[in-house]
């Protein structure tokens, strides 16, 4: 298998603008089969804009996105069929029963799942007993679990997760990490954004740090730490002697809080 075949996603020279403002500037990276890849960056760095361009929701100024061998401009339907996208909980109709939400999205993806199939999916996320509760009555974490299951219901090659664990308690977060790893075990790939350095270190095989629309580091979390551990700026921001990914991240992106 050559590198091109090993890639589920290739982003090549992608740029995205809003009017005159260039939010993503000529970024390139790839996500390989069986890989969990993290996009890290301060607020406003361009992470969501990058995901939106990959999803085909934003038209890039330039650059190419290839998903499972399909160019997203030339073969948008093929490219999209290989993608699973986690929707915000607010995208789901709160008045529908949980089981109906899953049935609806199974239908959207052209799947005919029986009631038992859907209950099995809910059992998988410990929500079988909530099947006949209204979606809007689930807790935030429960809604997030449902939305993750929906993003993988059609068995996509690549799952895109925008800050999947924000707002989850530690138990739910660990469980979600296990689910993300289970997606990888199936030979699929995951591209996620996160502000959690712990998450990046725990689940991501490789990460890209993006700032002001540009990639400033790309490698395994450990390699990035090792490469920068002796930088004076990293040592100066380090809090407890041991150099962490967060120290390197802050040293590379600056201490200033973004607007």
Ligand X SMILES: Nc1ncnc2c1ncn2[C@@H]1O[C@H](COP(=O)(O)OP(=O)(O)OP(=O)(O)O)[C@@H](O)[C@H]1O
Nearer to ligand X, 31 or 98 (CB): 31
Strand-pair partners of 192 = 38, 161
Q: Tell me which residue has tokens 């298998």.
A: 1
Specify the 3-state DSSP secondary structure of 259: coil
As measured in angstroms, the least distance from the Cβ of 231 to ligand X is: 23
As measured in angstroms, the least distance from the Cβ of 24 to ligand X is: 7
User: Alpha-carbon torsion 169, 46, 252, 30, what sign?
Assistant: positive
Structure tokens at 226: 């090792």
Nearer to ligand X, 103 or 253 (CB): 253
Cα separation of 70 and 1, whole Å? 17
As measured in angstroms, the least distance from the Cβ of 235 to ligand X is: 26
As measured in angstroms, the least distance from the Cβ of 21 to ligand X is: 6
Nearer to ligand X, 101 or 204 (CB): 204
As measured in angstroms, the least distance from the Cβ of 195 to ligand X is: 6
As measured in angstroms, the least distance from the Cβ of 74 to ligand X is: 24
Cα separation of 257 and 228, whole Å? 22
Nearer to ligand X, 34 or 44 (CB): 44
Backbone angles phi, psi at 214, to 5 degrees: -125, 150
For residue 71, CA distances in Å to 56, 79, 158, 233 come to 11, 7, 14, 40
Beta strand 7-18 with 62-67 is antiparallel
Nearer to ligand X, 122 or 160 (CB): 160
For residue 19, CA distances in Å to 52, 62, 163, 204 come to 16, 14, 26, 33
Nearer to ligand X, 49 or 172 (CB): 49
Nearer to ligand X, 39 or 158 (CB): 39
As measured in angstroms, the least distance from the Cβ of 99 to ligand X is: 32
As measured in angstroms, the least distance from the Cβ of 16 to ligand X is: 8
For residue 85, CA distances in Å to 91, 116, 197 come to 12, 24, 22
Nearer to ligand X, 149 or 207 (CB): 207
Cα separation of 134 and 153, whole Å? 20
For residue 225, CA distances in Å to 126, 221, 228, 230, 243 come to 37, 6, 5, 9, 7
Residues near ligand X, by CB under 6 A: 18, 21, 23, 41, 43-49
Contact 181, 198 (CB under 8 A): no
């Amino acid at each position: 298998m050559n590198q091109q075949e090993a890639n589920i996603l290739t982003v090549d020279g992608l740029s995205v603008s809003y009017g005159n403002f260039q939010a993503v500037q000529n970024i390139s990276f790839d996500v390989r089969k069986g890989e969990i890849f993290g996009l890290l960056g301060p607020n406003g760095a361009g992470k969501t804009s990058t995901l939106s361009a990959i999803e085909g929701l934003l038209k890039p100024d330039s650059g190419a996105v290839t998903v499972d061998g399909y160019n997203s401009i030339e073969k948008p339907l093929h490219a999209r069929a290989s993608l699973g996208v986690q929707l915000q909980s607010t995208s789901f109709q709160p008045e529908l029963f949980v089981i109906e939400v899953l049935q609806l999205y199974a239908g959207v993806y052209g799947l005919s799942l029986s009631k038992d199939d859907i209950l099995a999916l809910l059992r998988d996320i410990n929500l079988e007993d909530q099947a006949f509760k209204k979606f809007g009555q689930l807790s935030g974490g429960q809604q997030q679990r449902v939305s993750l299951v929906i993003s993988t219901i059609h068995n996509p090659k690549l799952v895109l997760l925008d800050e999947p664990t924000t707002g989850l308690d530690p138990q739910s977060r660990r469980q979600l990490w296990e689910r993300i790893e289970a997606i990888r075990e199936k030979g699929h790939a995951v591209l996620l954004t996160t502000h959690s350095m712990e998450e990046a270190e725990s689940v991501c095989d490789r990460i890209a740090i993006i700032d002001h629309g540009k990639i400033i580091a790309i490698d395994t979390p450990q390699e990035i730490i090792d490469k920068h551990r002796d930088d004076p700026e990293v040592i100066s921001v380090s809090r407890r002697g041991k150099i962490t990914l967060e120290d390197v991240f802050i040293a590379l992106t600056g201490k200033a809080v973004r607007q």
